[in-house]
Structure 1
Amino acid sequence: MTGVAVLLGVLLVVAVGAAWYWRGVATAAGTAVAAVAESPPAGDAEGAGSDGERDDLLAERLRAVVDHLQWAVVIWDAEGQEIYRNRVARAMFEARDSQVLVAAAIEELRADALAGRSVRREVDVFGPPVGSFLVVARPFRVRSLDDPAAAGSAGAAGGAGAAQVDGAVAMVEDRTLQRRIETVRRDFVANISHELKTPIGAVGLLAETVIDEPDPAVVERLATRMIAETDRLGRTVDDLLELSSIEFGDDAEFEDVELAALVAEAEDRLGSAPAQAGIEIRRDVPAGVVIHGDRRQLVSALANLVDNAVKYSADGSEITVGATVAGAGEDDPEGTVLLSVADAGIGVPRRDLDRIFERFYRVDRARSRRTGGTGLGLAIVRHVAANHGGDVRVESTEGVGSVFTLVLPPRHSAPPGPPDGSDGGDER
């Protein structure tokens, strides 16, 4: 079985498995075949090797078509020996350890395909990084090289047995982004209906009351409440948009970021709020520590942690922003960066520790309303940590204080990709 026959068979199998994509593939394959047909091989056109050279050239062109499919493609011969994997498959299975589940699914489906059955399976990888993949395996056969149209999916032709199969092909579609978009869209709609209706309704009621209120003092008080509700509404919308942007991670720009400068920028983002509360922010960040990440996301995460500490600390208290490098050694010379924010505030009750990272979860709703919290700050922190291949931890004692720690990989570690669709919350 020549390379031309195999690749023609594979292209037809892909056509069955990915009809939405086949129109462009067919055009490219047709162009490749036409180009070879119109170009005689080098040397004596009537030489004995001309047909073989033309087959080799056509196989090369068709291989280029398969290599540029958006699906990962793996091909086996009739004995189950792998004879080809395209560019996407090579990148998928060589770059990430988490793809072992996808590779295992391909191996399991290979036997079915070689037995003449077309099979498919959805594989969810819980990471990091989190991913969702569709694996399709189909048999194919090549009846005649003189009739390439006869080459195709044996299973699609009516469940041919193993004796009729010349090989099998597995195709893997990465559906991670599609699943993430569906999750974000669903959560966004739920969030709007859950969180925005309350302040909008409050503003409407206040406005109706103001219309018929003759007392200027009451009007002023109601107007002040309306301003507070609209401010809260604006902050919620801003945080929802920021969280959605971080969840997608499409505009993330990873670079080397000096930790000390990151801390200073996060403090600047808080403005005068700590000073107005008489709270001192002490830095314990060693100079020269560099992490690899998206500056905007990291500043947002750290600013949310410090802002939380300010809101839930007593006036005149102290907040410490510290950083250490843990685990440095021969195998990991740069170690893991632990970036912590410690306060002596009201703390988090033990019963709530597992829930504070839920979106819109608030331990003390009354205090959250007074301090202007949206319930999304720790959701943002958690997603930023996941985007950087890290984690966020909390240690807290009620009435004593809390320590929130961002665990970030060393500078040489590449980001694994966006996090899953699960959420975190904000207020304590």
Structure 2
Amino acid sequence: MNTLIVVLVAGLAGGVGFFLNGMFTRPKEQVAAQVDEPPEAAKSEVDVVDILPIPLAIVDLDMRKTTKNRALVGLASGSTALLLDDAVDGALQKALNGVEVSETLTFGGPPPLICELHAGKLNGSGAYAVLIDVTEKSRADSMRTDFIANISHELKTPVGAVAVLAEALMGETDPATIERLTGRMLTESERAAKTIDDLLELSQTEQSISENTEDINVEELLLAVKARYDEASRQRRIKIVVEASPSAHVTGDRQQIASALGNLVDNAVKYSLDEGVVILRSVAGAEDTTIEVCDSGVGIPSSDLDRIFERFYRVDKARSRGTGGTGLGLAIVRHVVTNHGGTVQVTSTEGEGSCFRLLFPMKAEA
């Protein structure tokens, strides 16, 4: 093994500066395990570079020979791969000139590719460039930031309103005014409580899979869910219709599935036009049981369909706030169905309505 490989392995396994952040603990362990093999396992410089799990490129001092391993070549395709190659070549050239490179690159999607590029000079042997795919990490960081901002807003708004109403109530003697202000205080406190309840429920479904499984008659479950929303639907002259197959059954957590269906029916009633129809339907198939909640409401724009299951995402923020929605209901639905080994599908047409379809495998694991 020549000097270049010795330097390369020492750097990757033991301490090139950009590994110090702790982000590369797993790749280093893999590198150490893979290079500690019999000599016949790596007959050339290219063999050693190619087996490394980290996207890596090395170049000689004259920039005549550039080696890029499989991990780097497989990181992107099409036009993104061309842009990535240009970025790597540019970083290698800078490194040969004694300039250390450490930057974040973003390539358009969909889906976008976000990488950290690090390059440096190998003493007397050339230069190296390493890429770390941080797309998922960046996405998670963005979701975490959005979540904190959203939850802060969702709780601050009703709490702030209660404080203002309480201040207005102080010293008030008119019975009608007192009744009006206390009624609004109750509404705002219920809104905050609903947000907290939904957060707790979402957290529970995200973190664990329920062990409270049982055989559930879907028709009975749909009728029970319908009963919970009969009064709200009557006030809007909305008809809830149950079209259930008597043979439709699912295996799972009754409370979780009822909660998921309740969120769908709640949305269907809230966003349906007066005198509309909400249909709860179940079909027993050979491999799965399908449960549908369809409405004749305002519908969902096609541009929003990919995001409606995100926490706190609202298609119409003003309307959602007016109906008391927290923006967590569909996130709960998705996690409940996923926990049961199922999938969620949605079709919608603006001005005509939406249909949510839950598919549960015949032997769902809840």
* TM-score after normalising by structure 2: 0.58
Which residue in 2 is equivalent to 1:67? none
Tell me the CA shift for residue 276 of structure 1: 2.6
> Which stretch of the first structure deviates more once superposed, 264-273 or 233-242?
264-273
Query: Is structure 2 residue 297 aligned with structure 1 residue 378?
Result: no
Describe how 1:46-195 pairs up with structure 2 within 5 A: 111-114=34-37, 192-195=151-154
Which residue in 2 is equivalent to 1:296? 255
Tell me the CA shift for residue 305 of structure 1: 0.7
Query: Is structure 2 residue 221 aligned with structure 1 residue 270?
Result: no
Query: Is structure 2 residue 361 aligned with structure 1 residue 409?
Result: yes
Deviations 1:232-283 (A, max 9, x none): 1111111111111111225442222221122122223335222232222111
CA contact (8 A) 2:230 2:240 kept: no
CA contact (8 A) 1:345 1:401 kept: yes
> Comparing both chains, which one has the higher relative contact order based on Cα–Cα distances under 8 Å and sequence gaps of 6 or more?
1
Which residue in 1 is equivalent to 2:9? none
Query: Is structure 2 residue 288 aligned with structure 1 residue 336?
Result: yes
Tell me the CA shift for residue 113 of structure 1: 4.8
Which residue in 1 is equivalent to 2:266? 307
- CA, structure 1 residues 211+115, in 2 after alignment: closer, same or farther (shift >3 Å)? farther
CA contact (8 A) 2:299 2:351 kept: yes
- CA, structure 1 residues 317+339, in 2 after alignment: closer, same or farther (shift >3 Å)? same
- Aligned with 2:326: secondary structure? coil
CA contact (8 A) 2:245 2:284 kept: no
Which residue in 2 is equivalent to 1:55? none
Query: Is structure 2 residue 304 aligned with structure 1 residue 352?
Result: yes
Distance 1:407 1:219 in 2: 50
Match of residue 213, structure 2, among 213, 235, 254: 254
CA contact (8 A) 1:391 1:407 kept: yes
Tell me the CA shift for residue 397 of structure 1: 0.9
Distance 1:187 1:363 in 2: 16
Distance 1:112 1:407 in 2: 47
CA contact (8 A) 1:323 1:338 kept: yes
CA contact (8 A) 1:184 1:244 kept: no
What one-letter code is carried by the residue in structure 2 that aligns with 1:380? I
Which residue in 2 is equivalent to 1:157? none
What one-letter code is carried by the residue in structure 2 that aligns with 1:229? E
CA contact (8 A) 1:339 1:405 kept: yes
What one-letter code is carried by the residue in structure 1 that aligns with 2:274? D
- Aligned with 2:163: secondary structure? helix
Which residue in 1 is equivalent to 2:350? 398
Deviations 1:329-388 (A, max 9, x none): xxxxx3122211111111112222222212112222232223221211111101111111
Distance 2:142 2:318 in 1: 30
Distance 2:271 2:151 in 1: 26
**Identical positions, percent:** 48
Distance 1:121 1:267 in 2: 54
Distance 1:216 1:249 in 2: 49
What one-letter code is carried by the residue in structure 2 that aligns with 1:367? R
Tell me the CA shift for residue 304 of structure 1: 0.8
Tell me the CA shift for residue 204 of structure 1: 0.7
CA contact (8 A) 2:313 2:327 kept: yes
Tell me the CA shift for residue 190 of structure 1: 5.6
Length, aligned pairs only: 242
Distance 2:177 2:189 in 1: 18
- Aligned with 1:303: secondary structure? helix
Deviations 1:80-111 (A, max 9, x none): xxxxxxxxxxxxxxxxxxxxxxxxxx999864
Which residue in 2 is equivalent to 1:73? none
- Aligned with 1:291: secondary structure? strand
CA contact (8 A) 2:210 2:253 kept: no
- CA, structure 1 residues 344+271, in 2 after alignment: closer, same or farther (shift >3 Å)? closer
CA contact (8 A) 2:297 2:353 kept: yes
Tell me the CA shift for residue 213 of structure 1: 4.6
What one-letter code is carried by the residue in structure 2 that aligns with 1:297? Q
Which residue in 1 is equivalent to 2:43? none
- CA, structure 1 residues 278+191, in 2 after alignment: closer, same or farther (shift >3 Å)? same
Deviations 1:8-56 (A, max 9, x none): xxxxxxxxxxxxxxxxxxxxxxxxxxxxxxxxxxxxxxxxxxxxxxxxx
Which residue in 2 is equivalent to 1:285? 244
Tell me the CA shift for residue 121 of structure 1: 8.6
What one-letter code is carried by the residue in structure 2 that aligns with 1:284? E
What one-letter code is carried by the residue in structure 1 that aligns with 2:257? L
What one-letter code is carried by the residue in structure 1 that aligns with 2:161? A
The alignment's C-alpha RMSD in Å is 3.3
Distance 1:290 1:107 in 2: 46
Which residue in 2 is equivalent to 1:389? 341
CA contact (8 A) 2:347 2:354 kept: yes
What one-letter code is carried by the residue in structure 2 that aligns with 1:370? G
- CA, structure 1 residues 206+284, in 2 after alignment: closer, same or farther (shift >3 Å)? same
CA contact (8 A) 2:249 2:284 kept: no
- CA, structure 1 residues 270+189, in 2 after alignment: closer, same or farther (shift >3 Å)? same
What one-letter code is carried by the residue in structure 2 that aligns with 1:290? H
Distance 1:378 1:318 in 2: 20
Structure 2 residue runs of 5 or longer lacking an equivalent are: 1-28, 40-51, 55-140
- CA, structure 1 residues 218+288, in 2 after alignment: closer, same or farther (shift >3 Å)? same
Distance 1:184 1:250 in 2: 22
Deviations 1:114-145 (A, max 9, x none): 459xxx999xxxxxxxxxxxxxxxxxxxxxxx
- CA, structure 1 residues 363+264, in 2 after alignment: closer, same or farther (shift >3 Å)? same
